[in-house]
Structure 1
Amino acid sequence: MPVRRLQQPRGWAWTIAVAILKPVLLATTRQDWHHGERIPATGGVVLAVNHTSHVDPLTAAHLVYDHGRLARFLAKSGLFRNRFLGFFLRAAGQIPVERESHGHAAYAAAVDAVRAGECVVVYPEGTITRDPQLWPMTGKTGAARIALETGCPVLPVGQWGAHELLAPYSKRPHLFPPTTIHLSVGEPVDLSDLAAGPVTTEVVHAATERIQAAIVAEVEVLRGEKAPAERFDLRRARAAERAAREAQESERLEDRDQKQDTGDGGDTP
């Protein structure tokens, strides 16, 4: 039974999604939810959640729905390119994120949704964590910017267990025995001092760090262990990978040129 009954209209897309997906989730997962009552019954709010599996949105939506709200996700635009899936997602109020536009349209849509009293779910990492132990990575600024623009509460949500139901980037779910999904909703992140002044780049990054730290704290409680002192930085890791590839290519070309100079790399007259 839901903890708090839904008060807002579902619409046809949510009616179909709940009829199909909720029985599947109830059959394949067990719910270990903490402090879901902190999700406000009404009004605009942002839930900021860590990301470990492609099934995360389903388990998060389950938590939100059973606490009387409909979740509006910022989802990759590729999902909307399929004619039928895109039609369904838009009907369910989901928000496409276009990478080429640097998220400007998605940000504006999310702000409008919050101002309209919706519950918007954001994954600040932007993608499934690449941390080897699946700890939250450094966060992007979307959740912070939405909160600073609208003044809405930001609730950090730690989740653990979805990766056991569907491993990162896997296509084969582990359906039985049922996986326990741990979700913990934290107290609203205090951004009042940051919202009092101009919204500068420094302010946005400070707000982002507070939100991400609050998410990590919730995950630490669920996992019963401390997170690494330094969060995995995906941009830095990708830059290091690019540098390594470029160094390898440079070394390969240099080796080829040396062989050609000494006559070892091609035909000799």
Structure 2
Amino acid sequence: MGAAVSLGERLRRWHPRTPSLPQDLADLVRADDPEWFARELAIAVAPPWWFWRLLLRRFSWLVAVFGRVEVTGGIPEELRGGPLLLAANHIGDFDPFVVAVALARLGVAPRIMTTGGILAAPVAGPLLERTGAIRVERGTELARHAVRVTEVALVHGGHVVAYPEGRVGLAPDLWPERGRTGMARLALGLRVPVIPVSQWGAHEVLQYGNDWGKLRTAARAVLRRPALRVHVGPPVALDDLRMGRVGDANRARYRIAAAITRGLGPLRTREMDRPAFIDPTRPVTAVAAYPGGVVPEDIP
């Protein structure tokens, strides 16, 4: 019994080997910071993990088990070296896997912003962290750590996938919400290109509610194999905006939402008014930035 407990404890504490943290970044870590902060800084500085690249290259077919991955658009060759902020709409728990596979096909090994609860899970959490996933503790004082890790990753040429909405979208028609200004401020402050990533279909694989229904929708997806569509659009025009100038962060977030929405329209085809797949566990408590996917021509 004691040996079993000891093994379980070892599994809960296990982490892949972490790269060394440069001294200039080690000086940023304070005694009261969470223990994972130094690890994430070290991972953010290092090149993408070889094992992560291997998974994306050799095992992306696992995502295709649940649907047909279709990728359109691309990333300009001159931007692939990074840094890049990849702004994606968030439609369900499965879409980070679809987006990662799509970006890998375009030659990018992404670092994905992920909720802290997932990264706290034994074994799977440490593996995700080592791939470069950035922990986001929304609504807590620890949220600032995600900003710092993201800044470090971008300064060192990282390709960071972030969700401007800050959560799975809850608009009734599943068009993207206007999002928050966090990504806009990062882009303006660091002068990093923002690439819109529009995606559709992943919401059919895992339902919103965290119950046994997730297994049911996953099994149904294996049989039905819905289209998992991802479109990577051209960089969002932000050159005329400046960090700290009144209203510019707000203008930037609306432009980012507009770019994602425009790219999403062709992916939805006959689902422009409402999704064909209705998830009864998903709340509908938000409003889309551009209801119906209609984006005005005169976005400021």
Task: State TM-score, norm by structure 2.
Answer: 0.67
Contact 1:74 1:97 in 2 (8 A): yes
Contact 2:115 2:136 in 1 (8 A): yes
Whole-Å Cα distance in 2 between the matches of residues 203 and 223 of structure 1? 30
Q: Where does the alignment leave 5 or more consecutive residues of structure 1 unmatched?
A: 1-7, 235-269
Given the alignment of the two structures, is residue 107 of structure 1 paired with residue 147 of structure 2, yes or no?
Answer: yes
Q: Which moved more, 1:208-217 or 1:83-92?
A: 83-92
Given the alignment of the two structures, is residue 171 of structure 1 paired with residue 218 of structure 2, yes or no?
Answer: no
Given the alignment of the two structures, is residue 187 of structure 1 paired with residue 227 of structure 2, yes or no?
Answer: no
Whole-Å Cα distance in 2 between the matches of residues 212 and 227 of structure 1? 18
Aligned-partner residue type, residue 36 of structure 1: G
Aligned-partner residue type, residue 225 of structure 2: P
Q: Which moved more, 1:25-34 or 1:9-18?
A: 9-18
**What displacement does 1:95 show?**
0.5
Whole-Å Cα distance in 2 between the matches of residues 159 and 24 of structure 1? 18
Whole-Å Cα distance in 1 between the matches of residues 48 and 147 of structure 2? 24
Correspondences of 1:86-97 after superposition (within 5 Å): 86-97=125-136
**What displacement does 1:113 show?**
0.7
Given the alignment of the two structures, is residue 203 of structure 1 paired with residue 248 of structure 2, yes or no?
Answer: yes
Q: Which residue matches 1:74?
A: 113
Tell me which stretches of 4 or more aligned residues in structure 1 moved more than 4 Å: 16-20, 225-228
Q: Which residue matches 1:151?
A: 191
Contact 1:46 1:122 in 2 (8 A): yes
Q: Which residue matches 1:30?
A: 68
Which has the higher Rg, Structure 1 or Structure 2? Answer: 1
Q: Which residue matches 1:215?
A: 260
> What do you get for the CA RMSD once the two structures are aligned?
2.5
Correspondences of 1:135-146 after superposition (within 5 Å): 135-146=175-186
More helix by share: 1
Aligned-partner residue type, residue 52 of structure 1: I
Q: Percent identity between the aligned chains?
A: 31
Aligned-partner residue type, residue 169 of structure 2: T
Whole-Å Cα distance in 1 between the matches of residues 65 and 173 of structure 2? 27
Contact 1:73 1:121 in 2 (8 A): yes
Q: Deviations over 1:30-54 (max 9, x none)?
A: 1221112447321100110111110
Task: State TM-score, norm by structure 1.
Answer: 0.74
Whole-Å Cα distance in 1 between the matches of residues 131 and 67 of structure 2? 23
| Count of aligned residue pairs for this structure pair | 222
Q: Where does the alignment leave 5 or more consecutive residues of structure 2 unmatched?
A: 1-46, 275-284, 289-300
Contact 2:75 2:106 in 1 (8 A): yes
Q: Which residue matches 2:89?
A: 50
Contact 1:111 1:149 in 2 (8 A): no
SS in 2 for 1:181: strand
2:101 aligns with one of 35, 39, 62:
62
Whole-Å Cα distance in 2 between the matches of residues 18 and 217 of structure 1? 29
Contact 1:38 1:186 in 2 (8 A): no
Whole-Å Cα distance in 2 between the matches of residues 112 and 29 of structure 1? 35
**What displacement does 1:14 show?**
4.8
